[in-house]
Amino acid sequence: MNTGFQGSSLPDLSEKIKEKTRELGFDICGIARSRPLMEYRPILEEWIGAGMHDRMNFLARDIPKRLDPGFLLKDAKSLVVTGLNYYSDIIQEADDVPLFSRYTYGIDYHEVILSKLNRLLEWIKVLDHDVAGRPVVDSASILEKAWAREAGLGWQGRHSIVISREAGSFFFIGILILNIELDYDEPFEHDLCGDCRLCIDECPTAAINNNRTIDARKCISALTIESRQPLPGNILPLFGRRIYGCDRCQEVCPWNSRVKINNNREFDPDPEIARMTREDWLTLPLEKFSQLFGRSVLRRIRYEKFMENVRAVLNVNN
């Protein structure tokens, strides 16, 4: 395909794309050549075969499609992989109230990142109208973590989350699949976790396996977000007031000890949430829930499930 990018060489064009991602607010960016990631198939099938995906049956469907970006975009040739920091050190002020993962603060990250990736795609199309692309943010059948490594952003830590030298692990991954050739970054081949096992040892429910996968049947994040079943009473005392997600494995990671607070205003916590009391949460009406979380990713679970989590966790961890 003739890109028509005004005679730009592939390195020049790729650098321009990376510069544009920084202009759009992304913290890190790398570019990978599209290919089927067949080496991940045995890992994925073994994990699913062991039932560690719990009731998330969508993860067991269409495994070949999850491995090959060509199923998401015809003639896929390149993946622009971005990272957007969301870290905040603001948490609830009282010590007897619910805890949320930091990524729940602010506007739903799907909305924020898709907007940025679409703006990137439109910018590229101005240079060449024949370019086709598809933005992906945690909502299509693709291995985001594997592609972050392929694009040189970092390595998959023992907690299964991608760690970047520059950004730690508190960042969202957004991918733009393109049908043009670009200059590709080298995959990140190093494992900089070394002998560290803090994330495994500090996981409240021992959900982290030794092969960098997670047992969703025990994972607080999976149980409080993805599961539609009541929270399991046998491990509920280990939740530690966490009602939506869990950041413990990232909080103890040494690579996050120097992480910078994000400059992305979309993810600023609502000060009202930080000030709420235990009683405020236990008596939270639907209208207030909608006001506080109407544009947050937390809206993924219905109000009834949210309040069920609040009552179950606070009544055990009082």
Residue 59 makes CB contacts below 8 A (sequence gap 6+) with 48, 53
Catalytic residue among 54, 68, 128, 138: 138
pLDDT digits (tens, 9 = 90+) for 156-171: 999 999 999 989 999 9
Query: b/e string for 134-173 if b means 16 or more Cβ within 10 A?
Result: bbbbeebbbbbbbbbbbbbbbbbbbbbbbbbeebbbbbbb
pLDDT for the residue numbered 174: 98
pLDDT for the residue numbered 164: 96
Predicted TM-score (pTM) of the model is 0.93
- Between 11-20, 234-243, 265-274, the lowest mean confidence (pLDDT) is in 265-274
Q: Tell me whether residue 138 is one of the annotated catalytic residues.
A: yes
Q: Report residue 200's pLDDT band, with 50, 70 and 90 as the boundaries.
A: very high
pLDDT for the residue numbered 3: 47
